[in-house]
Amino acid sequence: MDSSSSLDSLHHIAISVQNIAEAAEWYRETFRCEITYQDATWAMLKFGNVSLALVLPEQHPPHIGFVTPAAHKYGTLKRHRDGTESIYISDPSGNVVELMSPESCGQA
Amino acid sequence: MDSSSSLDSLHHIAISVQNIAEAAEWYRETFRCEITYQDATWAMLKFGNVSLALVLPEQHPPHIGFVTPAAHKYGTLKRHRDGTESIYISDPSGNVVELMSPESCGQA
């Protein structure tokens, strides 16, 4: 991910699965990817260009995390345990979109 | 996207929206991205590291398109109008996953 790019980038995509361990194993067997975090409630899988988060529907909404310098325009960013800072908004169709600050993602 | 990477990459993420024109305009205004294709039934938006497809729920299922040399293992690939070749499968939770051959994506 090139911070000098003129285009914003995607940090991760989060999809709902019924069982984190089962899903993480399926993605690891199906693709060349690395499990960078896993517990009973969510997992993060690293792919070549972007990460895939597996979440339980009752814990997190499915969403797409974008890295954009405009994140601050939408309100006060919340700091997460991994150090990233973001705010959640919805697109006109109700899809949940996470806006992450480049500085907090090491892309400043 | 580095074809020599040891990790598979994501080609696109397709999400459902209610109105293609409205959604494309919202994403273009919210992010630094380029609309590379748009008609009344779907649109493709290019971001720095991956593309975002906007689709109508009755036309295409939401899905994630992965580029993987293992695509061929899952059956006969279908050739699409843009030249890519892929097969659709589902993960254990029913999420639709498109497996695209690297050769057809210019990543061989």
Partner residue opposite A31 with nearest CB, options B5, B46, B66: B66
CB contact under 8 A, A9 and B34: no
Residues of B in contact with A70 (CB under 8 A): 30-31
Average pLDDT value for chain A: 93
For residue A46, which residues of chain B lie inside 8 Å, CB to CB? 7
How far, in Å, are A61, B42, B71, B87 from residue A24 at the CA level? 18, 30, 19, 21
Q: How distant is the alpha carbon of residue A26 from its chain centre?
A: 19
The answer to which of A6-15, A52-61, A83-92, B87-96 has the lowest mean pLDDT is: A52-61
Q: Inter-chain contact A31–B2, Cβ cutoff 8 Å?
A: no
The H or E element that residue A63 is part of is strand A63-67
Q: What is the spatial distance between Cα A17 and Cα A56, in angstroms, rounded to a whole number?
A: 6
User: pLDDT (tens digit, 0 to 9) for every residue of chain B, 108 residues total?
Assistant: 444 469 999 999 999 999 999 999 999 999 999 999 999 999 999 999 999 999 999 888 899 999 999 999 999 999 998 899 999 999 999 999 999 999 999 877
- On chain A, the residues whose CB falls within 8 A of the CB of B18 are 92-93
Q: In this model, does residue A2 exceed pLDDT 90? A: no
Q: pLDDT-based confidence at A5, cuts 50/70/90?
A: low
**Closest approach of A1 to chain B, Cα-based (Å):** 6
CB-CB under 8 Å, A17 with B13: no
Residue carrying structure tokens 């892309």: A107
CA gap A14, A36 in Å, rounded: 14
CB B42 within 8 A of CB B20: yes
* More confident of the two residues A55 and B107: A55
Based on the number of CB atoms within 10 Å of its own CB, is B14 exposed (0-12), middle (13-18) or buried (19 or more)?
buried
Question: What ipTM did this prediction achieve?
Answer: 0.91
pLDDT for the residue B4: 47
pLDDT confidence of residue A45: 98
> Between chains, do B64 and A17 touch, taking CB under 8 Å as contact?
no
Letter for the amino acid at B3? S
Other CB atoms within 10 Å distance of the CB of residue A96: 15
For residue B15, give the amino acid letter.
Answer: I
Q: SS3 string of chain B? A: CCCCCCCCEEEEEEEECCCHHHHHHHHHHHCCCEEEEECCCEEEEECCCCEEEEECCCCCCCEEEEECCCHHHHCCCEECCCCCEEEEEECCCCCEEEEECCHHHCCC
Would you identify the CATH topology of the domain A9-105? 2,3-Dihydroxybiphenyl 1,2-Dioxygenase; domain 1 (3.10.180)
pLDDT of residue B2: 47
* A107 — pLDDT class (breaks 50, 70, 90): confident
Size of interface A-B (CB pairs under 8 A): 116
Are B66 and A47 an interchain contact pair (Cβ–Cβ within 8 Å)? yes
The pLDDT of residue A81: 85
Specify whether the CB–CB gap between A97 and A88 falls below 8 A: yes
Spatial CA neighbour of A91 closest among A71, A58, A64: A64
- Within 8 A by CB and 6+ apart from B4, the residues are none
- Separation in Å, CA of A93 to nearest CA in chain B: 5
**Chain B CB contacts of A43 below 8 Å:** none
* Residue ranges per structural domain of chain B: 9-105
**Average pLDDT in the A12-16 region?**
97
Say whether B47 and A22 touch across the interface (CB within 8 A): no
